Amino acid sequence: GTTDDARLRHLTVALPPQYAARLFDAQQSGAGDQQLQQIAAEGLKELYFQDGGRRAGSLEEIRFTDIEHIEFEL
């Protein structure tokens, strides 16, 4: 089953290209961590939680909290 409860997640996913581009553009423009986290959260919502529109259609937002480790690669 699934739950809306917050929990530790280990994700290894490729962020959709449009979100990766937004992240790089925002970083180049001097965006702060909060704005960068918001863009990444939007991408993960679409890719991981909503599975490209196949589930969790009513999910409005996700939030990064208590991040232990995050890594991005090209």
Q: What is the pLDDT of residue 26?
A: 95
Among 1-15, 38-52, 57-71, which range has the highest average pLDDT?
38-52
What's the whole-model pTM score? 0.67
Contacts for 3 with CB less than 8 Å, ≥ 6 apart? none
Contacts for 15 with CB less than 8 Å, ≥ 6 apart? 23, 40, 43, 44, 47, 72
Cα dihedral 42→44→47→50 (10° resolution): -70
- Average pLDDT value for residue range 3-17: 75
What's the number of CA atoms in the CB half-sphere (13 Å) around residue 34? 0
* pLDDT tens-place string over residues 19-47: 889 999 999 999 998 898 889 888 888 88
Q: What are the structure tokens assigned to 39, written together?
A: 């863009």
Tell me which of 11 and 22 has the higher pLDDT. Answer: 22
